[in-house]
Structure 1
């Protein structure tokens, strides 16, 4: 979204006084408004000279934000879009593809959650290799913990000649990201590339992987209060926007925390719960094996009430 000062020439109410008022609250761009409550901003305006003019500017900016949203579509338009424009990407694992009715859905955010060392990174690498090799699509891989391994990618592809391997590896763009602000910058850069279709010179952007999203969001939730939750919401909204508007499959990994009665549940709480379209849970079985089950899915009824995949039906064996 544009910097606030860029709106000044077209909207006189967004003048230097309004921009100074916003800057005093840490608001420098239209996107920064997503971290604030309109009523709270209006209360701050009441403490300044010319409060009514400041409130007019606030109302205008929120109107601009609303205008940036896609127009509403009816159910038939959404169904036709899914049937004609969205593909399903195989993950490289037949059991997971069967569970998900084909694999990762373009236009959807899929979350893979599980405890440490349960195979989340291996699954992300395997899916990246499959999309780059079999689907000939571009992959954006955001690595938040120095866990990306080109050797594991090559191992997932199998025995191919050097030229094919080089082509596949060139389709995977890896970013090392260690804080939420850098993540947002990378996502905005990706959105710009998708919008301008620069990436289509070498292929079609098919998959965005973030391994792991929780390592970036968890640190900002405890100490930053509402601002931390606002950053989390903005990140989730941007991921869904990239998925829906550009037909990209988004895969994020998340860790688990303790739930009721000794159970485990995905981290990041109720606010994050609404972001993924599909949530998968990895559970360690023993040794280097784990089972995978669906805890949320947009088209499988009552997916949260039982495991759709038991240990005997499928196991992932991951290798270093």
Structure 2
């Protein structure tokens, strides 16, 4: 949680005197105050010459905390929130959208799992381009392996090669709406996500209203900190997952992450990150490529209200060195 000093600018009762009083009791942040015995703190404040102002400062910090709590909502309010705020974003690929009954859902964390060259990054780039172009929304692309390619993005965005001037204008608008960050470890990811969350809370728009957040790939950041006797890596994984879900719900984002496959029992591949991560995504999609062909399949592993199923994307057409769905 926030240091008390960071609240001073917006909350006059949390001034330097209040901060010094709290620091004398080992309280430096909002979290420290929460775990402190408030009755003891109020009693100590009464002994201070500025007792009235100190008690007002304690009340103000508690009111800030209460303001951050999600209100209780009944079924009708939840339905209204879904209908008014949680939109469906087209991926730009007709077959994927049909398979998902429209596309990626705001408020949901969707995971793409699959082996190398199964099309995970391709879907991410296609979705980013289409959200920026068709929905005119902002996209944040967290790139963990230098997979973001403006040239490939241009192939998705430009369809009419006759009017080059108009195409260039469209491409510029699309690329301006996509903010790309290079993220190479879990700690940087958490830092970037918290910065983004603060920006969204402050209503600071990034390339337009942010509608899509992509992490390609989440597993490359988490895998290095897992394993061993320590539970620290597991805790970091759960923290990252729930932060992504929280941001999706509170800020009406569609969150799309990619994950790789690892060997399982009997030599059968399975999604990486284990059983604990398995329960975090709202939607899990498995991509695969049929050996020796250009046929791609998508299988639904998990969805809140859709049964498990599979779709075959058939043959695809080539782009330079890459394949494109649809």
2:174 counterpart of 1:168: yes
Aligned match of 1:238: 243
Superposed counterparts of 1:57-96, under 5 Å: 68-96=68-96
Q: Find 1:300's aligned residue among 284, 306, 313.
A: 306
The Cα of 1:75 is off from its aligned counterpart by 2.4
**Equivalent-residue separation in structure 2 for 1:268 and 1:282 (angstroms):** 17
**Equivalent-residue separation in structure 2 for 1:2 and 1:315 (angstroms):** 52
The Cα of 1:284 is off from its aligned counterpart by 1.6
Superposed counterparts of 1:131-150, under 5 Å: 131-150=131-150
Aligned match of 1:218: 223
* SS at structure 1 position matched to 2:118: coil
**Equivalent-residue separation in structure 1 for 2:199 and 2:67 (angstroms):** 22
Whether the 8 Å contact between 1:95 and 1:314 is mirrored in structure 2 is no
Unaligned runs of 5+ in 2: 8-13, 42-60, 161-166
How big is each residue's C-alpha offset from its partner over 1:219-277, in whole Å with a ceiling of 9 and x where there is no partner? 11125721111111111111011100110100000011223343222111122122210
Whether the 8 Å contact between 1:289 and 1:318 is mirrored in structure 2 is no
Unaligned runs of 5+ in 1: 21-27, 39-52, 55-60
Q: Find 2:288's aligned residue among 283, 289, 296.
A: 283
**Equivalent-residue separation in structure 1 for 2:184 and 2:30 (angstroms):** 23
Whether the 8 Å contact between 2:131 and 2:137 is mirrored in structure 1 is yes
Aligned match of 1:158: 158
Distance 1:131 1:6, change over 3 A: closer
Q: How many residues align?
A: 284
* SS at structure 2 position matched to 1:228: helix
Query: Mean Cα displacement is larger for which, 256-265 or 279-288?
Result: 256-265
Aligned match of 2:193: 187
Aligned match of 1:18: 26
TM-score (norm 1): 0.78
TM-score (norm 2): 0.77
Whether the 8 Å contact between 1:289 and 1:317 is mirrored in structure 2 is no
**Equivalent-residue separation in structure 2 for 1:117 and 1:151 (angstroms):** 18
Whether the 8 Å contact between 1:210 and 1:252 is mirrored in structure 2 is yes
Distance 1:148 1:30, change over 3 A: farther
Distance 1:314 1:195, change over 3 A: farther
**Equivalent-residue separation in structure 2 for 1:256 and 1:243 (angstroms):** 25
**Equivalent-residue separation in structure 1 for 2:286 and 2:231 (angstroms):** 28
Whether the 8 Å contact between 2:158 and 2:171 is mirrored in structure 1 is no
2:203 counterpart of 1:197: yes
**Equivalent-residue separation in structure 2 for 1:121 and 1:167 (angstroms):** 21
RMSD: 3.3
**Equivalent-residue separation in structure 1 for 2:211 and 2:140 (angstroms):** 9
Aligned match of 1:127: 127
The Cα of 1:159 is off from its aligned counterpart by 3.0
